[in-house]
Structure 1
Amino acid sequence: MLVGLVSAKGSPGVTTSALALASQWPRTALLVDADPFGGDVRAGFGGGDWPPAAGLAELIVDLRSTTLEQALYRRVHHLAPYAPPVLAGLGCVGQSASIPWSRLGPLLARIDGADVVADCGRFAAADGVMPLLRTCDALVLVTASSLRAVRSAARIAPLLQEATGAEAGDPRVSLLVVVADEPYSAAEIADGCRLPLLGEMPKDAIAAAVWSDGARPGRSFARCAMQRTARQIAEKLASLGPSGRPI
């Protein structure tokens, strides 16, 4: 199963949400940083201390001579027991055009024994990641609750539905609101975007710092609001079949 998280505007919490969801996935899960504008996992969650060859660009080179599973074994980095294994992203914007997203997507969706949560960053209709979005079993539009964020999310929601062939109400394209009620409620945002509401990620600065800045988790990290919510949302996503119905 391949699940993509994407935003309409920069920095609404896509990477933090993706890492949290992958860490709480009910099955084996891998986080892939597929942001076409250059990923933040190495510098943020990794704190700048990341194996230089543990990334997406190196995996693509490996695929010329080996299978995806073997390439992932070489290039995925598991930073900590509480975190999912991660394939770090690209170092710069220009590298995205060289990634064979249309080939990579189906391969990621069919990994034996594991699901993939892909951080697809900020949406742009003309960038190279659109072929990856089209192969996702589920797409999650991540948004904050400000007027600017909601207006941007509402504009791209139909494009995501078109990319997946999802009709109105199909949970294969759903909405995740990060810190609702500032000022709009999650229900209001879902109504404006005309998407099913997947859930709300709470304001939890301490837990967010673990995923966004590589902060060391405290003893209560596993029981914090963000991780509890991530578990509930991950279970909902993991239950979807190809039709968008629970399995």
Structure 2
Amino acid sequence: MLIAFASAKGSPGVTTAVNALGAIWPTDVVVADFDPAGGDFALRHRNAEGEPLDPERGLLSLAAAARRGVTEAAMGEHLQTADGGLEVLAGVTRPEQLTGIGSVWPALGTMLHGLSADVLVDCGRIVPGTPLLPILTGADAVVFAVRPGVEYYAHLRERLRWMAEPLQIGRAGSTPVGIVLITDSSDSSSTRDLDRLLQHDGHQVAVLGRIADDAKAAGALAGRWNRRIDRSLLIRSARELSESIRALAVTRTRISARS
């Protein structure tokens, strides 16, 4: 399955959430960095030898292969294994590098679907006119990350209104949309409040839960601390959330299998 993660405003923690989920995902998984503003995964991670990941081997090399009509079977050539075992499809380091990808975005989505592993795609901030629309509409689920706050909720509502048509939200066979809150582990009310707000506005999306705002564990994932984080609030919250996200995506997967 292919699950796209995005934000409606700023940097609420999409990359950290995808990183944490990838670290504990219960099946084989690939993390793909498609952030149009420039990805962080190749900068954050090292391989088993301690060397930086190669930013030219990933989205850029895969897009070049897609233009040549390379089949899904060759996907492994564009993946890199980060220290710890996470399979990564590195993103661009500069926004202007996306200009050469253009028309192959739909082919990239098809190739990702062809993998035997689940794919978690970091789409970064989504705005009208985003080149990632084929990835979002082709995903088995789209998950928006948001922080508590009036300004974050306002931008999320506007983005959901814009995405309602391309994702066919509320229609049969639509792309399921979920919301994840990046918030303090003691925050027990924000998920409930946001769910009420979205339901009041008529948005047919699911508030799935929260990822703990755990700066030290997030830094450890990014290689800045030498610290075991298996029992951190970040990883524990990711484990709790992963099944809800997978269940959301399975909804569309089953519909596609029957059609």
TM-score (norm 1): 0.86
Aligned to 2:9: 9
Report the secondary structure of 1:128's partner residue. coil
How far off its partner does 1:95 sit? 2.4
Contact persistence 2:30–2:87 (CA under 8 A): yes
Corresponding pairs, count: 241
RMSD (Å) for aligned C-alpha atoms: 2.7
How far off its partner does 1:141 sit? 0.8
Aligned to 2:119: 116
Contact persistence 2:55–2:92 (CA under 8 A): no
Shift in alpha-carbon separation, 1:197–1:23, aligned structure 2, 3 A: same
Could you give the per-residue CA deviations for residues 130-164 of structure 1, whole angstroms, max 9, x where no partner exists?
Answer: 11111010000111112211111111123334322
Aligned to 1:222: 230
Report the secondary structure of 2:16's partner residue. helix
Contact persistence 1:14–1:142 (CA under 8 A): yes
Aligned to 2:155: 152
Aligned to 1:202: 212
Aligned to 2:43: 43
Report the secondary structure of 2:252's partner residue. coil
Shift in alpha-carbon separation, 1:50–1:167, aligned structure 2, 3 A: same
Aligned equivalents of 1:33 and 1:222: distance in 2?
23
How far off its partner does 1:216 sit? 4.2
Contact persistence 1:141–1:157 (CA under 8 A): no
Aligned to 1:88: 90
Aligned to 2:179: 175
Contact persistence 2:38–2:94 (CA under 8 A): yes
TM-score (norm 2): 0.83
**Which structure has the larger Rg?**
2
Say if 2:70 is the partner of 1:62.
no
Could you give the per-residue CA deviations for residues 97-133 of structure 1, whole angstroms, max 9, x where no partner exists?
Answer: 332212211221232x211000000001112111111
Please list every run of 5 or more consecutive structure 2 residues that lacks an aligned counterpart in the other structure. Answer: none
Aligned equivalents of 2:175 and 2:189: distance in 1?
21
Paired AA for residue 228 in structure 1: R
Aligned to 1:105: 109
Contact persistence 1:24–1:230 (CA under 8 A): yes
Aligned equivalents of 2:139 and 2:246: distance in 1?
13
Identity %: 28
